[in-house]
Structure 1
Amino acid sequence: MRRRPTFLDTGLPKLSTDQAASLIQPFFVDEIWNAVRCCDGGKASGPDGFTISFFKMYWDSFKPLLVSLMEEFHRSGEISKGCNASFVALIPKKSDP
């Protein structure tokens, strides 16, 4: 049997019914665009080799794909394993560290 912790009267603020309901609403295209737009585009590329700047520049082409991806996530609650992959490279700032 799986045991879960209980949090009885922790004194933490609680969500209102409306706030809780808003967390399970489908994503709006504007919300997805705002999330992409707010990301720093100059950071390192993802596993596919593309930076966020690339997706921003070609948003009109990628919008249907990203919206479909988010709709599938909302429906199933799962994201494809490849979407969350990342690579970390340690680059020394000094020669011969």
Structure 2
Amino acid sequence: MLLLEIRGKSIHRASFLKKEKNRKIEELENELKRITKTDKEQTSELFLEKREELEQMRAKVLEGVLIRAKARWIGQGEKTTRYFCNLENRHFASKRMTSLIKDNGVEIEDNEEITKEVKNFYEHLYKSRQEITEEVNLEHRLKDETPRLSNEEASAIEGPITYREATNVLKKMRNNKSPGSSGFTVEFFKFFWKDINPFFINSINYSFQTGTLPISLREGLITCIPKPGKSKK
């Protein structure tokens, strides 16, 4: 619920800033057009100042598009083109499952049928792995010289999650990742950790006490990763 509240406030704030930025860009463009009428050579100090300000704002907009699109080659000299402006939409379209071909060769396009087929595939996949795991006798494979935890060490890693444990794990997480379906990145949690850590740790320990995870942590997102030269179906 906290993340939902933060998301709502962030969207509202971002929308306001975007409108203000677009208004400022439009004002600068109109100002440059007005100056151009009197400064045909476009060399006046005011023109150069306004043009530089406009270029900086456009670069900031492009930077936002690149970050949202997770473009790793942000600093490799790419230019501002229509391609970048449509990058996110193109990526979304390429990952959509519009149709699938079943094992019997029948092609399905209905969303419910596609969802059912994907569900059946992963149920069979993980069931196969589970059967293999159940056949392994761990006690037989563990030898006497295998290091074992003492009773004190075993007790120390049981029980509620502490602030220190959660903080150490967060510090080791890689940036530019979104650990969950909420879309919040690792950088977000690191930056606001001092503000949100009590809520975060309490929610984890509540799940520990009740023995159940919230719905958001029991969901899975399946994303298509198109392979070159292979059908997405």
TM-score, normalised on structure 2?
0.34
Q: Which segment drifts farther, 14-23 or 40-49? A: 40-49
Shift in CA distance, 56/9, structure 1 to aligned 2, threshold 3 Å: closer
Counterpart check, 1:60 vs 2:194: yes
Alignment of 1:39-58 (within 5 A): 39-44=173-178, 46-58=180-192
Q: Give secondary structure in 2 for the equivalent of 1:91.
A: coil
Shift of 1:41: 1.9
- Let me know the Cα RMSD of the aligned residues: 2.8
Identity among equivalent pairs (%): 23
1:21 matched residue in structure 2: 155
- Once structures 1 and 2 are overlaid, which stretch shifts more, 21-30 or 5-14? 5-14
* TM alignment of 1:53-92, pairs within 5 A: 53-92=187-226
1 or 2 for the larger relative contact order (CA 8 Å, sep ≥6)?
A: 1
Structure 1 residues not aligned, in runs of 5+ = none
In structure 2, C-alpha distance between the alignment counterparts of 1:28 and 1:43, rounded to whole Å: 23
Name the structure with the higher helix share: 2
Structure 2 CA distance for partners of 1:62 and 1:84, relative to 1, 3 Å: farther
TM-score by length of 1: 0.70
Structure 2 unpaired stretches of 5+: 1-136
Pair member with larger Rg: 2
Distance 1:16 1:53, change over 3 A: same
Q: Are 2:135 and 1:7 aligned?
A: no
Q: Deviations over 1:47-83 (max 9, x none)?
A: 1121111111111222121111122133223321312
Counterpart of 1:58, as a letter, is F
Amino acid at match of 2:197: K
DSSP 3-state at the match of 1:90 = coil
